[in-house]
Amino acid sequence: METDGKVLGLVGSPNREGRTNQLVAAALEGAARAGAPTELIQLADHVVAACKDCLPWVCKDNLKCIYEDEAFEYLSQKILASGALVLGTPVYWWDTSGLVKYLILKMFRVYASSAPLQGLPAFGLAIAGGTGNGLVSGLRPIYHFFQMMQMRAKEPLPATRFNFDTAVERAGKLGEEIAAMANQRLPFSNLEERLLWYDALPYLSLNRAAERRLLAAFAIQSLPSHENAAVALGLARADSLAASGKPLDSLIEVTQVYETGAKTFEGQHLKK
């Protein structure tokens, strides 16, 4: 299929004006600055129906779901034609939204075998806008999708309310970078190369404790330096406890840092 060279942004939140939209829009603004045509689509306007796991499995050969699903037809054709993809999700219960999951599960079923998206440049972003928990685990289904579809994904963008302004800026930069790749698909030479590529991406292989440490670091990074220093010492203590074989004590310390950071952050935002 001919690609249209567009950087396509998909907003996976039912809230059209929310933070996912802000981040995806920022990525597309970056892409537009770099000269690429862009298009933003709200998944809320095209809700894909659940894959029914029908047998015989004809959609992998027909490249079409046998059940009528206008939303899936529309979205899958847009993705197939795109020059690059930005996929954004809100984090719900430490996970990707249902709007995104239904789309990617059906994409697997129809297209994973023929892999028409090989080498497509992409990146994913997730906004854990409440506690911030799930900022990495919410990204994983998206990167699993990119990997299974053999796309060439750039680094993921985990966003929380604590690092939101920085994340918007980073989304713009990633948008610019992806725009420069949008005219060319760069398929991997083999499975091994692809697996190593995905293993090398930041954040995705963090365990739960490391994910929580990242969140605590975001929570305190947003504080002014006079408030940040004492709290940051707590993170150093947590690291030293982990290094001395005390993971539970370490994580409890991380939680204290997080709670102090979050409380101060909330206090500041109430003042504004």
Ligand X SMILES: Cc1cc2nc3c(=O)[nH]c(=O)nc-3n(C[C@H](O)[C@H](O)[C@H](O)COP(=O)(O)O)c2cc1C
Residues that bind ligand X (CB under 6 A): 13, 15, 18-21, 90-94, 127-134
Decide whether 129 or 175 has the Cβ nearer to ligand X. 129
| Least spacing, CB of residue 97 vs ligand X, in Å | 8
- Which of 224-227's residues contact partners 24+ apart within 8 Å by CB, and which partners? 227/264
Nearer to ligand X, 94 or 198 (CB): 94
Question: Angle at Cα 139 formed by Cα 40 and Cα 270, nearest 5°?
Answer: 80
Least distance CB 23 / ligand X (angstroms): 8
Q: CA-CA distances (angstroms) from residue 154 to 33, 192, 200?
A: 19, 17, 10
d(CA 101, CA 93): 13
Measured from the CB of residue 11, what is the shortest distance to ligand X in angstroms? 7
Q: How far is the CB of 67 from ligand X (least distance, A)?
A: 27
Tokens of 172: 């713009």
Q: Which residues contact residue 133 at a Cβ distance below 8 angstroms, ignoring those fewer than 6 apart? A: 91, 94, 212, 215
Which H/E stretch holds residue 85?
strand 84-90
Please state the closest distance from residue 151 (CB atom) to ligand X, in A.
23
Write down the least CB distance from residue 14 to ligand X, Å: 7
For ligand X, the closer of residues 142 and 149 by Cβ is 142
Identify whether the C-beta of residue 128 lies closer than 8 Å to the C-beta of residue 171.
Answer: no
Residue placing its CB nearer to ligand X in the complex, 42 or 150: 42
Strands 152-153 and 121-128: parallel
d(CA 104, CA 140): 12
Q: What gap in Å lies between CA 159 and CA 164, rounded to an integer?
A: 6
Backbone angles phi, psi at 45, to 5 degrees: -90, -10
Cβ nearer to ligand X, comparing 143 with 258: 258
d(C-alpha 66, C-alpha 203), whole Å? 37
Choice between 121 and 158, CB closer to ligand X = 158
Nearer to ligand X, 131 or 256 (CB): 131
Q: How far is the CB of 130 from ligand X (least distance, A)?
A: 3
